[in-house]
């Protein structure tokens, strides 16, 4: 769907994209990074709206440097900032956008009605946009990106300014754009957690550079943290504590955060150095005469890429590519 090769964009004072090479396939892809990471800049280059300083990019096989108009016919775009005229209704605006992308009048009206219904705007679609809530405006922006039935849409921070309920509804809509219509999606966010449920694939950028590109499952499962739960016994009424002390005696520290997990103090978390850690835990538990209820790798959340400790961050981000 999208392929960039050593793509750079330099402004006089800042390098917004720095030799970014990434391949993005069909489905729902999250483009995540802190504010200023280069997400909007990348989208504008991919739409052929802004030239790259260096490197190349193709969207749906088309060259962004020379085939921008053809790309924009096939790709929908929901910009980050408010760009809606306050005095016209959602219907008038979306019909206008449909006509601009070449649909005849009747088709434009029909597609507008269908698309506004799909994004959840009903009677209010006849009222001027100026009186809409942020959530309704985001829906109009989404509708105008979809009205010409594109193969791919770029959604720039679609959940910006929404409350948690509005955000969940928007994320549900985004998922359905792909499942109901087969349209692929590239969606940006600075909130990593919200992309976990929505995206098949996640691309992380930081300072214009690619940090990582991988499937969401790889992202959330890359971990070396083990969660362990054991039984108690007459000899060791607090089995968890006995295992913790035995592991400490052998130089293996458990993480304090285990105490806060569901299971109230019965779960030990530790960093696995490799196969030998599994063997050590099994032996320690057996030596104490306790039962091992579970020993499993703990899932990582994408948000740990940015909010975790340096160690977690290295572990979750891996080595890029
Ligand atoms: N037209 C421009 N002129 C100069 N600098 C720019 C221009 N557009 C973007 N930048 C700079 O390039 C960097 C990347 O900006 P960009 O808007 O792509 O980031 P972003 O990841 O989309 O963040 P945000 O979500 O805050 O928009 C920022 O440092 C920004 O200030």
State phi, psi for 23 to the nearest 5 degrees: -115, 130
Predicted local confidence at residue 207, as pLDDT? 86
CATH, residue 164 = 3.40.50.300
Predicted local confidence at residue 52, as pLDDT? 95
Q: Is the CB of 81 under 6 A from ligand 1?
A: no
Alpha carbons 271 and 185: distance in angstroms, whole number: 36
User: 210 and 228: one domain?
Assistant: no
Q: Is the CB of 35 under 6 A from ligand 1?
A: yes
Atom of ligand 1 nearest to the CA of 12: 4
Q: Is the CB of 286 under 6 A from ligand 1?
A: no
Which of 7, 9, 40, 47 is the pocket-test mutation for ligand 1 (most atoms within 8 Å of CB)?
40
Q: Is the CB of 39 under 6 A from ligand 1?
A: yes
Within a domain: 116 = yes
Whole-number Å distance, alpha carbon 45 to ligand 1 midpoint, is 12
**Range of the structural domain that residue 229 is part of:** 224-297
Query: If residue 182 lies in a helix (H) or strand (E), which one and from where to where?
Result: none
The closest alpha carbon to 298, from 278, 321, 318, 269, belongs to: 269
Which one of 171, 203, 220 terminates a domain?
A: 220
* Tokens coding 41: 């800049």
Number of domains in the chain: 2
Sign of the four-CA dihedral 81, 87, 91, 95: negative
Whole-number Å distance, alpha carbon 42 to ligand 1 midpoint, is 10
CATH, residue 232 = 3.30.70.100
Instruction: Report pTM.
Output: 0.73
Atom of ligand 1 nearest to the CA of 37: 21
User: 188 and 285: one domain?
Assistant: no
Alpha carbons 199 and 210: distance in angstroms, whole number: 18
* Sequential pLDDT tens for the chain (321 residues): 999 999 999 999 999 999 999 999 999 999 988 888 899 999 999 999 999 999 999 999 999 999 999 999 999 999 998 889 999 999 999 999 999 988 999 999 999 999 999 999 988 999 999 999 999 999 999 999 999 999 999 999 999 888 888 888 999 999 999 998 899 999 998 877 778 778 999 998 888 899 888 888 776 655 577 888 888 899 999 998 999 999 989 888 887 654 544 554 677 888 777 678 888 999 999 999 999 888 877 655 555 555 444 444 444 444 333
Which one of 220, 240, 257 terminates a domain?
A: 220
User: 201 and 245: one domain?
Assistant: no
User: 13 and 135: one domain?
Assistant: yes
Q: Is the CB of 38 under 6 A from ligand 1?
A: yes
Within a domain: 310 = no
Residue at token pair 């970014």: 20
Alpha carbons 229 and 292: distance in angstroms, whole number: 6
Within a domain: 309 = no
Within a domain: 317 = no
Which of 38, 79, 211 is the pocket-test mutation for ligand 1 (most atoms within 8 Å of CB)?
38
User: 94 and 231: one domain?
Assistant: no
ipTM of the complex: 0.94
Whole-number Å distance, alpha carbon 40 to ligand 1 midpoint, is 7
CA distances from 230 to 69, 225, 233, 235, 257 (A): 62, 17, 10, 14, 17
């Amino acid at each position: 769907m999208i392929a960039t090769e050593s793509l750079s964009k330099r402004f006089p004072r800042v390098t917004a994209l720095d030799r970014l090479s990434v391949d993005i396939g069909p489905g729902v892809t999250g483009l995540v990074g802190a504010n200023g990471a280069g997400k909007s800049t990348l989208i504008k280059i991919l739409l052929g709206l802004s030239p790259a300083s260096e490197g190349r990019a193709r969207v749906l096989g088309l060259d962004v440097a020379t085939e921008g108009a053809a790309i924009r016919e096939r790709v929908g775009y929901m910009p980050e900032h408010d760009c809606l005229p306050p005095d016209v209704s959602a219907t008038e605006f979306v019909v206008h956008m449909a006509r601009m992308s070449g649909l005849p009048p009747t088709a434009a009206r029909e597609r507008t009605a269908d698309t506004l219904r799909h994004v959840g705007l009903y009677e209010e679609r006849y009222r001027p946009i100026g009186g809409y809530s942020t959530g309704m405006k985001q829906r109009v922006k989404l509708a105008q990106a979809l009205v010409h039935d594109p193969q791919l849409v770029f959604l720039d921070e679609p959940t910006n300014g929404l409350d948690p309920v509005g955000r969940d509804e928007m994320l549900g809509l985004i998922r359905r754009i792909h499942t109901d219509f087969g349209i692929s999606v590239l969606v940006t966010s600075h909130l990593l957690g919200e992309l976990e449920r929505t995206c098949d694939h996640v691309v992380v950028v930081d300072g214009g550079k690619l940090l990582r590109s991988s499937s969401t499952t790889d992202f959330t499962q890359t971990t070396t943290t083990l969660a362990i739960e054991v039984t108690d016994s007459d000899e060791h009424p607090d089995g968890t504590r006995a295992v913790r002390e035995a592991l400490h005696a052998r130089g293996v520290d458990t993480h304090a955060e285990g105490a806060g997990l569901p299971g109230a103090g019965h779960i030990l978390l530790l960093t696995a150095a490799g196969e030998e850690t599994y063997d050590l835990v099994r032996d320690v538990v057996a030596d104490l005469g306790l039962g091992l209820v579970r020993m499993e790798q703990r899932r990582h959340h994408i948000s740990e890429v940015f909010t975790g400790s340096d160690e977690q961050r290295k572990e979750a981000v891996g080595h890029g590519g």
